[in-house]
Chains A and B, each alone.
Chain A
């Protein structure tokens, strides 16, 4: 598959800006380093040409930004969507979170995004990162060059990519990909096969790292409530001091439960987590359970889907039977 270049995207965006199809461009903006890229709303051709970028570090899912931006800005917004972002895009439309009329979506191919934290594990003092065919070449401050293979430094969410196919767009740049076979539930199954003590140990060690920064909530495209239960000062769970206690578990169970059936498994929670907690494993557990007990379901395949937790059948499995499998 031909890789899409930053220039091609800028050219398209400038064209649409100039013929007044759109007034704004939601994309990724260069940062101080090659890897610190932020979502940004571009308003004119000049900044687009100077600062727009699409590289291996554009892991951010732009769908969620549409919720705020379509309300805030008067004109039409151009947004670039990677395949997995289109699921979130559809899911947000299903939930009536933004006006489709105000958005011009362009689907762009993605070959997996990189995790800077994983690169940093291998070396110190990055001066620049150059993309190569097999991965990246990292130049360090002490004039060394280190080559890293792509598979080893992919974001957690990209390691088990579920699809290269776009489910929503007005226009597609590059070639359309396919839905991929993936083994994204393997890690969940591995945890399930452990004993309760081992599972508890695992999650205790992971979730006790949580600093309750709420990044997972804020990055999640499914978490778009304007009033969140975790912002309630009387909830008794907003305390910030990290303690090896039930509070973190309660937060993460509720966070995952609240998006159960709506989570598209885009993996933003794990990407955003500054503590590198594998939060996607909680969401995937729900997806796996839903698939097993209520039939295969992928959120965001089309607009208007009814989620599995807001519907039922009279023959549903009893809660006690959910446990009894396997043992």
Chain B
């Protein structure tokens, strides 16, 4: 059997108004980011229920990143402020349970920051790849 390098599966929740457009801009500008990142478009970063994050891990994600508008720039005025508190609490709890903290991240990316989007994703994927397979969060029953 040939041993291949572990390719991580990264789920990125991107807010429709900023980060998703940022990803689009990164594409338009031909800026590379790894294909391991699977983007899920959400109307706002506060749409991300903690359950989404945990379900992503349960179903085999190795890292989850949530991208939203910069604080103060939310399309719905305050959505990302709520998301910020929620995710701070959730990620702190995951850390408390002994899950590697590099597997989760919140990043603010505006529609004009294609370069930041690409750089963030490259950095995140690199860190998660180093951590290797997500053993601590896997659910055998969710494996295909």
Contact = CB atoms under 8 A, between A and B. Distances in A.
A200 interface: yes
Interface stretch (B1-9, B16-24, B35-43, B91-99): B91-99
A256 B93 contact: yes
A282 interface: yes
B31 interface: no
B100 interface: yes
B82 A312 contact: yes
Contacts of A323: 91-92, 95, 101
B50 interface: yes
Contact of A319 (B54, B100, B106, B141): B106
By DSSP majority rule, is chain B's interface helix, strand, loop, or mixed?
A: helix
Contacts, number: 118
Interface string B51-65: 100110110000000
A293 B88 contact: yes
Contacts of B142: 236
A218 interface: no
Interface string A297-327: 0000000000011101110111110110000
B138 A319 contact: no
Contact of B81 (A196, A204, A236, A314): A314
A316 B96 CA distance: 20
B88 A202 contact: no
Query: Which has the most chain A C-beta neighbours within 10 Å: B50, B55, B96, B141?
Result: B96
Interface in A237-279: 237, 239, 243, 245-247, 249-250, 253-254, 256-257, 260
B72 interface: yes
Interface in B97-144: 97-101, 104-106, 136-142
A196 B141 CA distance: 25
B75 interface: no
Given A198-B98, A254-B50, A246 B139 contact: yes
A202 B96 CA distance: 10
Contact of B50 (A198, A199, A253, A308): A253
A319 B91 contact: yes
Given A192-B96, A203-B97, A289-B89, A318 B139 contact: no
A126 to B, nearest CB: 36
B90 interface: yes
B71 interface: yes
Given A199-B97, A200-B99, A229-B51, A317 B141 contact: no
A200 B136 contact: yes
A135 to B, nearest CB: 34
B33 to A, nearest CB: 20
Contacts of B92: 285, 289, 319, 322-323
A250 B54 contact: yes
Count class of interface residues, chain A: 35 or more
A312 B85 contact: yes
B32 interface: no
Contacts of B136: 200, 246
A89 B117 CA distance: 47
A318 B85 CA distance: 8
Given A247-B58, A247-B141, A289-B89, A191 B106 contact: no
A254 B98 contact: no
Nearest to A199: B98
Contacts of A35: none
A226 to B, nearest CB: 18
A261 to B, nearest CB: 8
Interface string A199-211: 1111110000000
Contacts of A310: 82
Contact of B89 (A191, A203, A246, A309): A309
Report, nearest first, the 4 A-B pairs whose CB atoms are least far apart. Answer: A200-B98, A199-B98, A312-B81, A319-B88
Interface of A: 191-192, 196-204, 229, 236-237, 239, 243, 245-247, 249-250, 253-254, 256-257, 260, 282, 285-286, 289-290, 293-294, 308-310, 312-314, 316-320, 322-323
28 contacts: A196-B95, A196-B98, A196-B101, A199-B96, A199-B98, A200-B98, A246-B136, A247-B141, A249-B97, A253-B94, A254-B54, A256-B93, A260-B89, A282-B96, A285-B96, A293-B88, A294-B85, A308-B85, A309-B89, A310-B82, A312-B84, A314-B81, A316-B71, A316-B81, A316-B85, A319-B88, A320-B105, A320-B106
